[in-house]
Structure formats: structure tokens, C-alpha cells
Structure 1
Amino acid sequence: MNVAFFITPKKQVVYAKLTSTIRQILERMRYYNCMQIIVLDNKGEYAGVISKDDLIARINTSPKLEFKDLNKIGILDIVKYMINKPVGIDCEIEDVENSMNNKSFVPVVDDNNVFIGIIKKEDILNYKNSYGQCSY
């Protein structure tokens, strides 16, 4: 079965731009109550994922950093580029399942690496449980 069947479209996913600051990302995470955010470049291409832990680690390793300075520091150097490697829209769901062991989602990109959405592990599990095919 194709991944398109399971995709949560980009418009329903919390994401940020690669040019965002630490403060912007923290505010976005707080507003949407999420622990990690997809990061896109200025062309809408998938750039990586950033987590709350990544931000906290960056803040903790900068002892002179004050809250007022968080809007001056970009996230470019702390984005985890390969933490959630994207899959293509033409990928089969069986191929994605094997790589989702400790991930809650997998990003999906088109042929030009433009981000189009995510596949949530819970959606796959719900589908498998409905049809008695759960392998987790």
C-alpha cells in the first residue's frame, strides 16, 4: 500500500522555517504543545527536525545566553538533519514501517524534496489493528 493513504498533509503539521530563531521555535512549540517541529528551507524543502531537547541543550551550553537573546540566535546549527529521514511519496508503507521503530512520525517529500506531510506511527498502527495485521 502506498504511503499517500496514510499521509497527514503539510497544512495540518506544525513546521517552521530554517531561518527561525530559538525563541520563535520555543513559542511555536508552546502554542501547539509539541516536542519537535519539522524545519523547512525557504523553498519548502525538508531540512530536518528540531526538538525541545535540542533547544534546551543549546541554551544550556551557552552560559552567558539570556532570554532576551533567544530571538537573535538562529536554529540552523541545531537542526537534526537525519533524525527523521524523509520518504518519497511513491514509497510503500511496508518500507516505512521498518524504519519507524522509535519514531512517532516520518516526513514525506515529493520528487523535488518539497515537504508534503507526515506519516504518523499511530495511524499505521490503527490501520493494522483494524485489519488484524499489527506487527509491532
Structure 2
Amino acid sequence: MEIKSFLLPKEKVSYLTTSASMKDAMDRLEACQYTAIPVIDEEGKYIGTLSEGDLLWKLKRTPGLGFDNMNEVLVSDIQKRIYNECVAVDAHMEDMLTLAADQNFVPVVDGDRVFLGIIRRRDIIEYYTRNITD
């Protein structure tokens, strides 16, 4: 089986660009009910993952930063505590499964690191649960 069969395409995934503000990030996380979200650059390349914790630490560690001026902080200026490894779209299933064991989602990229979408751990578990019980 190819990992493409698990791919939730970019068009159906909430993500941020590096030029988004911290306020944009909080609004997007709230709207999509994610705890972490992929970040891509202006060329569409996967940069990393921003988590709720990253936002909280930025808020705590930045004197004078509050809800009223979060729009002045760019996502690219927020330190990410965890880097969700990405996987190439043509990678082996084992590579993707190894990453999914430690990440809620696995970002999928093409050969140029352009973000194509994600594979959710939940979808993998549901697939294997259906096939084991059938």
C-alpha cells in the first residue's frame, strides 16, 4: 500500500504560512480545533509545526505581549519546541508508520519539500483496526 492512500490533501488541511501572525495562528487553531498546525513558507515548502504550547510559551516569555498586540508577532518568530518530521510522498509505509507512532500527524511533501498534505495517526489506526477485525 502507498502512503498516498492515507493522504489528507493540502486543500482539506488547515495550515499557516510563515507570514501569518500569532493572532492568525490562535484563530486558526481555535477554528479547526487542532492542537498543532503545519507551517509552510511562501513557496509552499514545509517549515515545521506550530503547537498551542509554542504560542503559550511565546506569550509567557515575551514581556508586554498580550492578546491585544499578538498580531505584531509573526509565526516565523515563534520558537517551535517540537519538529514534526515530514515524509516524502513516495516513501515506504514503514517510514511513515515510524513517524506516526510519535506524531499526531505526519506532514507529506514532494521531492522539493512542497507541502502536499498530512497523514493523520487516527486514520492509520482506523484503517488497521478495520483490517485486523475483518
**1:35-46 aligned within 5 A:** 35-46=35-46
Mapped partners of 1:81, 1:51: distance in 2: 8
Calculate the aligned-residue CA RMSD, in Å.
1.7
Taking structure 1 as the reference length, the TM-score comes to: 0.90
**Identity, % of aligned pairs?**
32
Residue matched to 1:98: 98
Report SS of the residue matched to 2:68.
Answer: helix
Aligned residues between the structures:
133
Residue matched to 2:21: 21
Give the partner amino acid of 2:27.
E
How far off its partner does 1:75 sit?
A: 1.5
Give the partner amino acid of 2:126.
N
How far off its partner does 1:82 sit?
A: 6.1
Partner deviation per Cα, 1:42-86 (whole Å, 9 max, x = no partner): 011101110111001000011322322111111213253862111
**Runs (5+) with no aligned partner, structure 2:** none
C-alpha contact (below 8 Å) 2:85/2:99 kept by paired residues = no
**1:50-129 aligned within 5 A:** 50-78=50-78, 80=80, 83-129=83-129
Give the partner amino acid of 2:62.
S
C-alpha contact (below 8 Å) 2:105/2:118 kept by paired residues = yes
Mapped partners of 1:9, 1:62: distance in 2: 35
Tell me which protein shows more helix as a share of its residues: 2
Residues 41/79 of structure 1: CA separation in 2 closer, same or farther (3 Å cut): farther
Residue matched to 2:48: 48
Report SS of the residue matched to 1:19.
Answer: coil
Mapped partners of 2:102, 2:111: distance in 1: 26
Mapped partners of 1:125, 1:66: distance in 2: 39
Partner deviation per Cα, 1:13-38 (whole Å, 9 max, x = no partner): 11011011111111111122221111
